Structure 1
Amino acid sequence: MTIDYDKLINWKFEDIEQTYTFKDTILYALGVGVSMDPLDMDQLRFTYEEELQALPTMAVVLAYPGFFLKDPEFGIDWVKVLHGEQGIEIHKPLPAEGTVIGTTKITEIIDKGEGKGALMYSTREVREKTSGDLLATLTSTTFCRGDGGFGGPAVSAPKPHELPDRKADAVVELPTLDQAALIYRLSGDFNPLHADPRVATSAGFKAPILHGLCSLGVAGHAILKQACGYNPSKLKSLGLRFSAPVYPGETIVTEIWQDGNRASFRCKVKERDLVVLNNGYAEIG
């Protein structure tokens, strides 16, 4: 298969309307590991319907267009697709329930060359239906590992955020559940890579891997805890690069550097001493 550049770059996504309830908000929080200590009152505000608040990172699952790259007309080897980078800008705190409209578009596809894969950049705006207010802008980079050399643009990719050259100011350690991927996929990403051992092994993994956006949610939890005092309105933006997969059940250790209203971070898997999320940044209001 070969990427159909013209078809992808000009693809017109239909706007996605999604109505979500307090149950969906709680399910997302449970999927990223919040309230593993059910007696922690700071975390319970995201997993209990009384005065429920939405995690800022829940924006990534709202009005999601689905795993459209599996469609053969795009010419992508979807089994080898990985999430490369993700950015979130929060314009207004997410309501705990409501109806939203998502508008998605592909902004660029970079050809890294034969055997080197391709990078696809996309954006999604999530708006509150009734008011029309912009809640969040999401930017995403998809790494199509098996699709380099299709003849598309070969421009340089943007440089990632640079981490400070000093010891981290804080470290937050958060475990993940063995069934974390099976819970998280109920928030909308049904890629079988995260559930079916046969698909995972055919893609070169020993077992189904955790969704990159689930790992991001764990990192967002760490930032919310350490830099925001569990106040979701303080987190204005967050972005990172996915550098290695996480397996459900592993412990994610987030190293945080704080400089004024900017926090830099990276995440390691404790069991393998491996950096899995890198070049992270967050704006704190």
Structure 2
Amino acid sequence: MSIDYERLKSFPFEDRDHSYTARDTMLYALGVGVGFEPLDERQLPFVYERELKALPTMGVILALAKPWLHKPESGINWTQMLHGEQGLVIHRPIPSEATVYGETRMEEIVDKGSGKGALLYMSRVVRDRATNEELVTSSQTLFCRADGGFGGRATEARPVHALPDRAPDRSATLPTMPQQALIYRLSGDHNPLHADPRIATQAGFKAPILHGLCSFGIAGHAILREIADYRPAALASIRVRFASPVYPGETIRTDIWDEGNGVFSFRCSALERDIVVINNGRAELR
């Protein structure tokens, strides 16, 4: 079955409430590497229940729609799908514990052509169930490598954020732990690719890889650390393009460019392999 544009554009996503606790908030922060300096009093509020704060990037795991890619009516060969881009707009600080709900929609489907794949642009608005206030809007681009040529209306991808052609203004270097993916998966993504060496080898990797959204959280941590002094309310939005997987245990350097007016560009590299893992990053501070 191939993609049917009209059917996929109006796909009936099954949204659901999501209740999370202070423990979940701390576990997410530990999963993206916060607390690696346990004596740093700026990191402690994200991993310790006293005056607990939620990381802004935790918004990407809240109130996810029920699994849908594997459904035949999607028309997608989900085994050939990659997570290409991720964005997050933070409307207000995320509570450290709450019940939230999400509303997911398909924004656009781009037909790159036969043999070139398709792009799915999706968004999810997450609201506090108690107050109905918008907390975050999460957006993602899925690259469906085997699904181009279905005759879609849109054929051009949205432009990515361009980085400055000069040396970065500052850099933040953060470690990952060998067990990082095993911790992060406890926040809800149980794909065995991130835990089982045999599955990872079958997929063409030398070892289990870090979740893309974990890498996203590490980038967000670097931005929060380097330019926001760990003030979660300061981060208004962040967007990235995934360039290459990260292996747990690698060191991630985030190069940052100050564009003025609270806008920062950034790029993340795995130092041990000298390879860019996140590119075309853009963050905006309030």
Q: Which bin holds the TM-score, normalised by the shorter protein?
A: over 0.9
Whether 1:276 aligns to 2:267 is: no
What is the CA–CA distance in structure 2 between the aligned matches of 1:229 and 1:83, rounded to whole Å?
29
What is the CA–CA distance in structure 1 between the aligned matches of 2:151 and 2:195, rounded to whole Å?
33
- Give the structure 1 partner of residue 13 of structure 2: 13
Whether 1:239 aligns to 2:248 is: no
Letter in 1 for 2:35: S
User: How far apart are residue 2 of structure 1 and its match?
Assistant: 2.8
User: How far apart are residue 215 of structure 1 and its match?
Assistant: 0.3
What is the CA–CA distance in structure 2 between the aligned matches of 1:168 and 1:200, rounded to whole Å?
34
- Give the structure 2 partner of residue 141 of structure 1: 141
Whether 1:85 aligns to 2:85 is: yes
**Structure 1 segments unaligned to the other structure (5+ residues):** none
Using the TM superposition, name which of 46-55 and 179-188 deviates more: 179-188
Runs of 4+ in structure 1 off by over 4 angstroms are none
What is the CA–CA distance in structure 2 between the aligned matches of 1:180 and 1:66, rounded to whole Å?
25
Normalising by structure 1, we get a TM-score of 0.95
Using the TM superposition, name which of 195-204 and 37-46 deviates more: 195-204
What is the CA–CA distance in structure 1 between the aligned matches of 2:188 and 2:175, rounded to whole Å?
22
SS at match of 2:30: helix
Aligned residues of 2:256 and 2:266 also touching (Cα < 8 A)? yes
What is the CA–CA distance in structure 2 between the aligned matches of 1:168 and 1:108, rounded to whole Å?
34
Normalising by structure 2, we get a TM-score of 0.94
What is the CA–CA distance in structure 1 between the aligned matches of 2:32 and 2:240, rounded to whole Å?
16
Letter in 1 for 2:279: N
Letter in 2 for 1:58: M
What is the CA–CA distance in structure 2 between the aligned matches of 1:149 and 1:53, rounded to whole Å?
46
SS at match of 1:185: helix
Q: Give the % identical residues.
A: 59
**Structure 2 segments unaligned to the other structure (5+ residues):** none
User: How far apart are residue 154 of structure 1 and its match?
Assistant: 4.5
SS at match of 2:96: coil
What is the CA–CA distance in structure 2 between the aligned matches of 1:243 and 1:124, rounded to whole Å?
23
What is the CA–CA distance in structure 2 between the aligned matches of 1:140 and 1:73, rounded to whole Å?
20
Letter in 2 for 1:221: H
SS at match of 1:121: strand
SS at match of 1:162: coil
SS at match of 1:219: helix
What is the CA–CA distance in structure 1 between the aligned matches of 2:218 and 2:103, rounded to whole Å?
26
- Give the structure 2 partner of residue 102 of structure 1: 102
SS at match of 2:69: helix
Q: 1:77 to 1:205 in 2, by over 3 A?
A: farther
SS at match of 2:267: strand
What is the CA–CA distance in structure 1 between the aligned matches of 2:9 and 2:26, rounded to whole Å?
35
User: How far apart are residue 112 of structure 1 and its match?
Assistant: 1.4
Q: 1:4 to 1:193 in 2, by over 3 A?
A: farther
User: How far apart are residue 66 of structure 1 and its match?
Assistant: 4.3
Letter in 2 for 1:19: S
What is the CA–CA distance in structure 1 between the aligned matches of 2:252 and 2:52, rounded to whole Å?
25
Letter in 2 for 1:22: A
What is the CA–CA distance in structure 1 between the aligned matches of 2:108 and 2:190, rounded to whole Å?
24
What is the CA–CA distance in structure 1 between the aligned matches of 2:210 and 2:204, rounded to whole Å?
14
Using the TM superposition, name which of 274-283 and 144-153 deviates more: 144-153
SS at match of 1:201: helix
What is the CA–CA distance in structure 2 between the aligned matches of 1:161 and 1:89, rounded to whole Å?
15
Letter in 2 for 1:264: S
User: How far apart are residue 67 of structure 1 and its match?
Assistant: 4.0
Letter in 2 for 1:266: R
Letter in 2 for 1:95: P
SS at match of 1:220: helix
User: How far apart are residue 62 of structure 1 and its match?
Assistant: 0.4
Number of equivalences: 285
What is the CA–CA distance in structure 1 between the aligned matches of 2:252 and 2:28, rounded to whole Å?
18
Query: Aligned-residue CA RMSD in angstroms?
Result: 1.6
CA displacement, residues 216-267 of structure 1 (integer Å, 9 cap, x when unaligned):
1000000000110111110011011111111121111100011331111000
